[in-house]
Structure 1
């Protein structure tokens, strides 16, 4: 099935119900379908977009950006959204790899439009191309039947966050995405109907866009904040629209639940606050549960598996100190097979650490035009996540970190996450990251970069000494005002290491800084 049918089905069933609310603007399902169909005709007639063609999109969250996805789906074209926080050079790299038919670019990004040698359609008034809304009026808005597609026809080029080297484009297909949507509805937001509401607090170009496709399938209105991320505005919208679900990442959950506005607005409508993209530290998890109640839903899943690897539902989260699932990312998703494997691909028994590997209907079709990356990513039909962890006797999985994050000190494997979890239980530590750094004696030793709540520099070495084994103790503790974040709001070790290099802190043996 062409995924574009989801919009048609919902518009037919709920024509007058709200599809999207963005500030003072709103569109019904019937109005959104009409806009999408006019946009599809515009792309086809004026830019020659057809089945298999790529359409590159550089935009912040707005209704036109979201409608462009559905217009591409209906044509059988391939949506290629960029992280709007990326540089013009990042967008040029995406254009070189994807070879799109055109660029849809928000007016706020003229430098991005200029750097790509492509026809440009603008979102808003811009000198670099015609305004998409002005052009829509010239094209018929009558229902457009979606193009016929096969299960394995690409629908979306999902660019990875580029933890190592340049981002790769994961190919998401119509059939695979259909499986993902059904899986997410079953495992993440069961019982969702048109009487719910969903708030967007992350870029629609990535995981949040996948999540909002579920809302289209169920006729749930999407609420878009009108400005930049603002916790107070988020909580106001939750109360105003009786929001029941939202997708985000742990760092945003942390910001939302630490902000004083969380206690000034009614958030009792929330049933599912889904967090993914990175593990959530236990201290942050407990704070969120205390503020919001039992609404947290964790899933583990890379873009290559479109989120569908494991799930820890709300009923299994617990704020108590004796919670027996602490550190778990949950159990295997419906219809997916997950294993901990050794370096040969053999499954390991419960309690043994290895690489988490997955197979099933949610696994992507491979990287776009990158056979070398595909050869590394797949082994015997299994996708290799690069994440290390173990499984317990009941089938719950526990991540210990990325394979690339682990370092070896004096012959012992050290997983930074364990140390980070301990550091975050210190009352003054707000954020931290632990990395391995070269050492002439031990090969590598740990360095802990910490952010404290009040800018203080506590003696963390003395405090940590009784809490972890001596060989795991970081040799240095650095205190920064903030840790660098990716365009998706995540703290990544690559960015922290880059900042260490910039500050010459990997070789500096002087005072902490």
Structure 2
């Protein structure tokens, strides 16, 4: 234990500093072992691992020169691109905290995240000047622009990298619980919260993903990105980097399925992370029969359940390459896994239909009742989890932490059961949150914005089944008395600049009143029942499918 900072022994075991590898050391390793091999490919341009490491050091040096030190938060609002990827490792290298946002968020939402995270620096893509303007606050010391477009910001990331070219920056010393990433998630309630991911936790996550999701991955593999790097896809690409796997981006943020299949064939892509909606679109696209996709070994999907018929169609088209996992941002996807061997292409007595898999290596899942008691097999309760993949807690939010944990167990807010063999089945959600196209949608924030329209007195937003998106949002509105009524198209146009497109309700209905319980509340289940009784659920599915 030479050199360790030990404290007073407890039970004969000394407590020592839990020094761990800085995640940016992944680039140090790759530059040494795979220096000339491709590490990042975008728009026909390729960066070697050595070049990536140099760019990251230059960006880290520039940030340090501007006063960024260990523990500082760096907010990043960007479409997928090279400089966004560099920013993650540059933050890690300094011991700072990477705080990426979903680039589809509105300016006021990004402004809130800037304040909530206590960000000191802001790296903002040139396509988002309004976001840069909205995020400005006294604690935010400077803004740099990602990419060549735009005119805002103190400097461009490209310019500061060029200015500090050749700089050598050591990976900061970090401990297991030192934060590296604020993963913004609403968890099971309302406004976004920063789930604190740490260097030690993420080292476990990387190892766990490689063991459970894509065993045998090496530098000879290749990975295609079809989702924002700010969230699950970013975790996936961090895992790929740990094995020297090149990351390949689509040419733009637009999801071009034909281009995706072209890149799969060209680069012999072996794995990708996606959501069921995107996977369904790919399987049904003509390009699936026009390009060679035999190199695919693992298509990892998460974020929402996948309809059985869609699952069978994907297996028939792509082969036995599907991997499902269940996990929240707070657990970095590390709750369950259903590997390729358990994805039965045909229904039968041994098919695991409806399960999201079994417990991930090193993680324990338990179904608990309202009192925290473990439920018996097949009894329904809340899905709870413990293990090294669980986050450190929400940043500066003790109330949310108190609600999220019970006796050390993280409470997912999802309901389900476990069968006698340990397979987990999700049967519902404890909150009104719904999942559309793999994105979590929280009705309250949408309801509040609809209620700002002078003609709307009451509203309820809820998710209803959809054959294409999994679920879509529906807004049931009640007109304000004494005000001229508003139509569906007009209300949708009013809401469009206030919420991202993926959060926009697909239909707006106008009722004389909302059904209420004896306590004066508006249970969403009563609204859903009324929609079904009126035959509107079928109408919605037919109008939104595809």
TM-score clears 0.5:
yes
Residues 153 and 449 of structure 1: CA distance in aligned 2, closer, same or farther (over 3 Å): closer
Question: What residue number does 1:92 align with?
Answer: 111
5+ unaligned residues in a row in structure 2: which ranges?
1-20, 444-459, 470-495, 515-529, 540-546
Which aligned pairs between 1:123-138 and structure 2 lie closer than 5 A? 123-125=146-148, 126-129=150-153, 130-138=155-163
Aligned length: 441
1:180 is aligned to 2:205: yes
Contact 1:252 1:489 in 2 (8 A): no
* Match 1:77 to one of 96, 99, 108: 96
Which residue matches 1:110?
A: 129
Q: Which residue matches 1:43? A: 63
Whole-Å separation in 2 of the counterparts to 1:13 and 1:265: 32
| Per-residue CA distance 1:196-216 (angstroms, 9 max, x = gap) | 000000000000000001111
Cα displacement string for residues 254-289 of structure 1 (whole angstroms, at most 9, x for unaligned residues): 111111111111100000000011111212111111
In structure 2, the residue matched to 1:476 is none
The match for 1:321 among 347, 352, 359 is 347
Aligned residue in 2 for 1:504: 510
Number of the residue aligned with 1:122: 145
Give the superposed CA RMSD.
2.6
2:428 is the alignment partner of 1:401: yes
CA separation of 1:208/1:448 partners in 2, compared to 1, >3 Å: closer, same or farther?
closer
Q: Which residue among 189, 206, 222 is the counterpart of 2:231?
A: 206
Match of 1:299 in 2: 325
Distance 1:184 1:489, change over 3 A: farther
Distance 1:140 1:321, change over 3 A: same
Name the counterpart of 2:410.
383
TM-score when normalising by structure 1: 0.81
Change (3 A) 1:290 1:405: farther
Deviations 1:270-312 (A, max 9, x none): 0000001111121211111111010000000000000000000
Q: How much has 1:143 moved relative to structure 2? A: 3.6
In the alignment, which of 375, 400, 415 is matched to residue 348 of structure 1? 375
SS of match in other structure, 1:172? strand
* Matching of residues 470-509 of structure 1 within 5 Å: 502-504=508-510, 507=514
Residue aligning to 1:286: 312
Structure 1 residues 18-77: Cα deviation after superposition (integer angstroms, max 9, x where no partner): 0000012110000000000000000110x2111000000010000100000000000000
Kept in 2, the 8 Å contact 1:21–1:221? The answer is yes
Contact 2:112–2:135 (CA under 8 A) maintained in structure 1: no
8 Å Cα contact 1:159-1:169 kept in structure 2: yes
Per the TM alignment, residue 161 of structure 1 is displaced from its structure 2 partner at its CA by: 5.0
| Whole-Å separation in 1 of the counterparts to 2:463 and 2:160 | 55
Q: CA deviation at 1:489?
A: 10
Q: Which blocks of at least 5 consecutive residues in structure 1 are unaligned? A: 407-415, 421-432, 436-443, 454-483
Query: Displacement, 1:141?
Result: 2.6
How far apart, in 1, do the equivalents of 2:106 and 2:213 lie? 33
- What TM-score results when the alignment is normalised by the length of structure 2? 0.77
The CA deviation string for residues 449-482 of structure 1, in whole angstroms up to 9 with x for no partner, is: 55689xxxxxxxxxxxxxxxxxxxxxxxxxxxxx
Do the aligned partners of 1:33 and 1:143 also contact (CA within 8 Å) in 2?
A: no
The match for 1:63 is 82
Structure 1 contact 249–489 (Cα < 8 Å) conserved: no
